[in-house]
Chain A
Amino acid sequence: MGKSSLSAVALCCCLTSRNYLRILPLPTYNEYSLHCVAVVVIRCRRLFARLDARRCLKDIEPRVFPDNGGPDHGEVVEVYGAEGTGKTELLYHLLCRCVLPKETGGLEVDVVFVDTDYSLDMSRLVSILDSLSTCSTSAGSDEAVLRSCLSRLLVVHCSSSSQLLLTLHFLETTLSSRPSVALLLIDSISAFYWSDSSEGGASLSKREEKLSKCSELLGRLLRDYRITIFASCRTIRRSSSGSSSCVEMDRPYLCRPWQCLVTHRLLCSKREADTEQMRHPVFSIHTSSSSWTGTRGSRTSFFKVTDGGVEFL
């Protein structure tokens, strides 16, 4: 922009008080300077979005993250696990903690839920919300609390990786207009892995192109709007009987740009069930957090799934 941006800034300042606009000579008021004003206005909006305090999710769930290691502004949490290891339950639990009002121990922030698998089970979510909100307050009008919680949730369904990319671009306007949005939840980030792989053919960069673009965009959104991202990622290989393959199975397989974004990795697994535990299997989460300076620590926690959601042990 350079010089033109300077004049645009000047003009922009003029626009703030109406009187000056009339005094301006006509030639200044041409189309190009108007573009610049638009650009500056957009930049300003981004700047304000950056400056205003979005709620930090550091204390979203102290029982999962290591001490003082909760997800900060601009950090990415990846929940990784096979089918039936409690990923969805854990995500719903974290989601409920976000949308619940402060008086019931929630964070009272808005959440955007990007559903790439058509997997969002609203009835399950509602029953978890119900049990979390009723157990901590005796106050009536549960229905009203529930509605207000649900209105803090925005859901988008995506059916292909290109739609995901476009939708993330589209969500930028949502993020800038709603400063109360603090969490972007993607379930799951690995949904289009196979279709992308097949479309990309033999070249690795082509295969990973879409997700790389999404990751770059997410990186920018994280920086500009200081949100936090939670994403689930599914295993794609079954562990065979050998013990060495376990490492193989848990190895991240999504593209590099995404791996670089991830700061917290939650590995979900199911503990070997005894016969008595058959009905209530115990799930474990191994959390490892990293940052620029290296690892920040790790933690393992266990939980059971009950009708009312996750119950930590």
Chain B
Amino acid sequence: MVILRVGMCPGLDEDLLGNLRAADVRTVEDLISSDTEELARKCSVSYKALLAIRRVLLAQHAAFPVSGADLYEELLSSTAILSTGNPSLDKLLDSGLYTGEITELSGGPASGKSQVCFGVAVHISHHLKQTVVYVDTTGGLTASRLLQMLRTETSNTDEQMEALQRIHIFHLFDIYAVLDCLYGLCSGGLQQVCVGGGSVKAVIVDSVSALITPLLGGKQSEGMSLMTQVAGVLKTMAKDFNVAALVTNHVSRSGNGEVQPGLGVSWSHVPRTRILLERVESAAASVSHSSLRSATLIKSSRQVPQAAQTVVKTYC
């Protein structure tokens, strides 16, 4: 909804605005959807002038059609596939995280969601030398853990520091702060973040369910609306700035005991690719902290959903 204001476009002056208000036309949508001919008569303005205003406003506010051929061209030149640094996970994801898409990791507690996110962040910043934006909503991210992971990659402290500098962390604990941050990133923040060379290639939100779950339920639809907003801004950011978005989600059990990703049906459409992480309950779990996790591809537009399980080793 865009309210009509003076100076929005040439010809839209105070008098005309007053007349339009009198005719109950307050927003751009009102003006566009009303019959121009009739409105011109009501507001005693020339039909031609009103038509010109309408045309300018439409051009300003409507989405512009792009040819499919151009989109394809753009896709070929800009899409990148970011390796997660974990060969078995890469295989599931058809060689890695695709820019322009949302990938979701869902799993129960201690299924290694955050650890995979840390691993991806470290890999992208250290090996691919690209900037990562990490939105931590649970307080689970610590710099010492990232450093610990980096130490297994390189012993050079300078390289470790460089890699850490390329990971930008936001600790945000409610949905409004996260929305603020994401909108900020969309309107120029992404360029500002990448000072040390290399553009932002990945945005990680760990976890998205911690933000949204408290708002769902009850008869209010506000929570759902905020959820679609988060989904919308993530998708827009992914597409417009060519970043890969990685989010984590919890799991719930359906009536017949089947594990399903959390946040309900409306969210289920949002991620393009979804991986379910589970702990491996093996007989040989004599080691109290088993580091084996199974990953299952449960949604993908590229590969046939794979029931075959691969093993993700979280770094312990």
Contacts and interface: CB of A to CB of B under 8 A. Distances in A.
B265 A83 contact: yes
Contacts of B228: 191-192, 194-195
B227 A217 contact: no
Interface string B14-42: 00000000000001110011000100100
Interface residues of A, number: 66
A195 B225 contact: yes
A121 B62 contact: no
A278 interface: yes
B72 A122 contact: yes
Contact of B265 (A166, A195, A235): A235
A45 interface: no
Given A124-B302, A166-B28, A170-B58, A194 B69 contact: no
A152 interface: yes
B65 interface: yes
B157 interface: no
A82 interface: yes
A236 B224 CA distance: 10
Q: Is the interface of B mostly helix, strand, loop or mixed?
A: helix
Interface stretch (A32-40, A72-80, A295-303): A32-40
Given A83-B299, A123-B75, A154-B68, 15 more contacts: A31-B48, A117-B269, A146-B72, A149-B68, A150-B71, A150-B72, A152-B68, A153-B69, A155-B68, A157-B63, A169-B33, A194-B224, A197-B225, A235-B265, A240-B255
Nearest to B226: A198
Nearest to A1: B37
Interface in B207-247: 220-222, 224-229, 232, 235-236, 238-239
A112 to B, nearest CB: 7
25 contacts: A31-B46, A31-B48, A38-B48, A82-B265, A113-B68, A117-B235, A119-B269, A119-B272, A123-B302, A125-B68, A149-B68, A151-B67, A152-B68, A154-B68, A157-B63, A163-B61, A165-B29, A166-B61, A169-B62, A170-B64, A194-B228, A213-B29, A235-B265, A241-B256, A305-B304
Given A155-B68, A163-B61, A234-B269, A121 B301 contact: yes
A169 B32 contact: yes
Given A112-B65, A157-B63, A166-B61, A118 B236 contact: yes
B187 interface: no
Interface string A270-285: 0000000011110000
Given A166-B32, A167-B63, A155 B71 contact: yes
A259 interface: no
Contact of B33 (A113, A150, A199, A213): A213
A38 B29 CA distance: 23
A311 to B, nearest CB: 13
Contacts of A174: 65
Interface string A175-218: 00000000000000001101101110000000000000100010
Interface residues of B, number: 58
Contacts of A199: 225
A223 interface: no
A35 B46 contact: yes
Interface string A254-296: 0000000000000000000000001111000000000000000
Contacts of B48: 31, 34-35, 38
A163 to B, nearest CB: 6
Contacts of A213: 29, 33
Given A118-B235, A194-B224, A167 B299 contact: no
Interface in B49-73: 51, 58-59, 61-69, 71-72
Given A159-B236, A167-B62, A154 B269 contact: no
A147 interface: yes
B225 A118 contact: no
Nearest to B32: A169
B307 A279 contact: yes
B231 to A, nearest CB: 8
Interface of A: 1, 31, 34-35, 38-39, 82-84, 88, 99, 112-113, 117-126, 146-147, 149-159, 162-163, 165-167, 169-171, 174, 191-192, 194-195, 197-199, 213, 217, 234-238, 240-241, 278-281, 305
Nearest to B61: A166
Contacts of B304: 279-280, 305
B79 interface: yes
Interface string B169-203: 00000000000000000000000000000000000
A166 B64 CA distance: 11
A117 B239 CA distance: 11
A308 to B, nearest CB: 12
Nearest to B261: A83
Contacts of B284: none
A126 B301 CA distance: 13
Nearest to A242: B255
A202 to B, nearest CB: 10
A217 B62 CA distance: 15
Interface string B59-93: 10111111111011001000100000000000000
B268 interface: yes
Contacts of B72: 122, 126, 146, 150
Contacts of A171: 65
Contact of B79 (A123, A150, A191, A234): A123
Contacts of A34: 48
Contacts of B28: 162, 166
